[in-house]
Amino acid sequence: MMLKAVLTLLALACLIPHFENLTGAAEREDRMLDVARNMEAGFKKLEDYTCEVEQIFYQDGVENQRYLFKFYFKKEKKIRVDFSQPYSGLTIFYHDEDKEATVRPLRLLSSLKFRLSVNNPLLKTLAGQRINQTDMGYFINFMFKNLKSVEQRENEFREDDERVEFLFWALDYIEEKSPEKYRISISKKHWLPIHIERYNSGDRRLEVTDIRNYVLNAHLQDKFFLP
């Protein structure tokens, strides 16, 4: 009887860590969804926002291209992007559900401008994002969709008084076919991302984005989004 009791206790002891890991994973996923809900709720309150963005793309794990620009957004989906590197003086304008965007290559020569389809490769990032996929509302919807539908394999979630950081798996941003993972840092001040890292399934870095100097509800005029 004593031997049977000892074996039973040993078996239960072996099960306990596995049960705790499952509980931790479920709790972690719930907390990530809570963060996404806070982001969604915060974004719904916004009328507009501006931010400064530094975006680095990698090829074979090595830095390939670096972009610096200021991003402006106003509901319902009016976008303006002012580049400072590498295309200093270039501005892109996009409105609502339009199928084209306006490109003004020289900021000081406003009469020089042309229209391009949102599907034109010249208007896509190196990752393949279209101009109408670049605002934070689109990214928050992307997070929600993948947190609910894609298995979350990583045990990474950190939180302090100022920010939340975690890693989540998603199908690729463009075709939704290839599994990728995103390490994201979110400011609790405004529930918007301040740092995003993108990796392929082999853990090779693809892209790093830093977002700084958010200005929320700046009362941007509609004419500011007119080319």
pLDDT for residue 24: 66
Tokens of 60: 């074979």
In the predicted model, is pLDDT for residue 226 greater than 80? yes
Region of 82 please: left (phi>0), alpha (psi -120 to 50) or beta.
beta
Average pLDDT over residues 194-221: 96
- 79-105: pLDDT as tens digits: 999 999 999 999 999 998 899 999 999
**149, pLDDT greater than 50:** yes
- CATH code, domain with 82: 2.50.20.10
Region 97-114: what's the mean pLDDT?
90
Domain housing 105: 6-225
The stretch 151-167 carries a mean pLDDT of 90
Rounded Cα–Cα distance for residues 181 and 143 (Å): 11
Residue 61 has pLDDT above 90, yes or no: no
Instruction: Tell me the C-alpha distance between 47 and 158, whole Å.
Output: 30
Is 31 part of any domain? yes
Q: Is residue 1 included in any domain, yes or no? A: no
Supply the pLDDT for residue 116. Answer: 96
Secondary structure (H, E, C), 131-191: HHHCCHHHHHHHHHHHHHHCCCCCCCEEECCCEEEEEEEEECCCCCCCEEEEEEEEECCCC
Please state the rounded mean pLDDT for residues 36-42.
Answer: 94
For residues 43-48, give the mean pLDDT.
95
Report residue 77's pLDDT band, with 50, 70 and 90 as the boundaries. very high
Residue 9 has pLDDT above 90, yes or no: no
> Residue 62 carries which side chain, given as an amino acid letter?
V
Q: How far apart are CA 190 and CA 192, in angstroms?
A: 6
Say if residue 8 is exposed, middle or buried (CB neighbours under 10 Å; 0-12, 13-18, 19+): exposed
pLDDT at 199 over 60: yes
Determine the 3-state secondary structure of 210 from DSSP. Answer: strand
Give me the residues paired with residue 92 across strands.
81, 103
Structurally, the chain folds into a number of domains equal to 1
- Please give the pLDDT value at position 159: 92
**Which structure tokens are listed for 40?**
């969604």
Which one is predicted more confidently, 84 or 107? 84
Answer yes or no: is pLDDT of 62 > 60: yes
